[in-house]
Amino acid sequence: MPIIKIDRSAKEIMAMLLSSAAEARLMLVAMVAIASCSMIICEAGEASRRPRAFFVFGDSLVDSGNNNYLVTTARADSPPYGLDYPTHRATGRFSNGLNVPDIISEHLGAEPVLPYLSPQLDGRRLLVGANFASAGVGILNDTGVQFLNIIRIQKQLRYFEQYQGRLRSLVGEAQAARLVSGALVLITLGGNDFVNNYYLVPFSARSRELSLPDFVAYLVSEYAKILRRLHALGARRVLVTGSGPLGCAPAELALRGSRAGECDAELQRAAALYNPRLVDMIGKLNGEVGGDVFVAVNAYRMHMDFISDPAAYGFATSKVACCGQGPYNGVGLCTAASSVCPDRGVYAFWDNFHPTERANRIIVSQFMDGTPEYMHPFNLSTILAMDALRAT
């Protein structure tokens, strides 16, 4: 057998072997370091690649299931709620399917935000945001007392503080602050302060205490305190919805004996007084904080478009609820014993107060692309484009 000559000395060979071993050890250490990357660093990196977070506050129009975890009569966690939801199960949303926050999440390119009380809201799901809304609540603490245990708005804000503590533990203080300040916030309040407080019963305590104009002024001043608190907690893009056409809900048509589906004049007057004062307050608040933090959402006009001309939007009716009983299907709750329409797509209202998913999609289309009459000073598409430009 021929002998192969090796030109390198024994010392050189030994040095090469030691160098290779050292490199292997360094590579192994690097791999272990990557594999055992701290939760804070890994989650922070993931957060920077995610769609912007989304936080929701308010009442049943935007509640995604918090009340499922409470002892309350204000809940939507049994059929036929959720009939058209992707799982075809009741989730606590007051809809046959998706609600407004769900559809906004679609436009953000994000998964729906979970209810804050959901045990599934943990780990990376915290980076998506959270829904703090609770059916039955209002601006005032005495609104919705008949529903027993609900998450009043001040408690929703305390939960938001608690959420931020959990977020800091996950991604660190700086990244948590960036996530919150860069988030989109939706707050929907006010309707219950009229229908479940001032007008709940004839000669209610609030109606004896204050005239309607004085009550509206008081509501708006209390709402301003809530919005200031949201700003203090880091919110920098807040969509603030006004009151819808309260007198046109099937519940009010039934309760107030509407003969031909005409909306109740007194409740419509309440909305007409409240909404302009709310818009004015939002403008002043933006001047106070030095930027267009708060965006006024004209929920009244968004709803009245299809209520006043349902056929133009493909609805067969905007007066009768899909699910319910009695006149206009507006009496009592939507339950398994209620009559349910076969085609939810042609009904503007799902139950006695809440829109169908299809109506919600029409509403969100105005959030996205509406003129300043609907979204002031900017619609959501403009906001997303402006914020994306700032981020580059």
Return the amino acid letter for 163. Y
Q: Which helix (H) or strand (E) holds 185?
A: strand 184-188
**Rg for the chain, CA atoms, rounded:** 27
What are 283's two structure tokens?
């403008």
Among all chains, which residue has been given the structure tokens 């977070």? 53
Is 376 labeled as catalytic in the residue annotation?
Answer: no
Catalytic residue among 95, 264, 351, 376: 351
Is 63 labeled as catalytic in the residue annotation?
Answer: no
Is 258 labeled as catalytic in the residue annotation?
Answer: no
Return the amino acid letter for 323. C
The CA distance from 261 to 79, in Å, is 27
Distance of alpha carbon 9 from the chain centroid = 73
The CA distance from 81 to 95, in Å, is 6
Would you mind telling me the total number of residues written for the chain in this entry? 392
User: Residue 355: is the preceding peptide bond cis (ω within 30°)?
Assistant: no
What are 95's two structure tokens?
């809809």
Q: What is the 3-state secondary structure (H, E, C) of 47-87?
A: HHHCCCCEEEEECCCCCCCHHHHCCECCCCCCCCCCCCCCC
Catalytic residue among 60, 105, 118, 134: 60
Catalytic residue among 231, 303, 354, 376: 354
Question: Helices 212-232 and 265-289: crossing angle, nearest 10°?
Answer: 40
Neighbours of 121 (CB within 10 A): 18
The CA distance from 307 to 305, in Å, is 6
The residues annotated with a catalytic role in the active site are 60, 351, 354
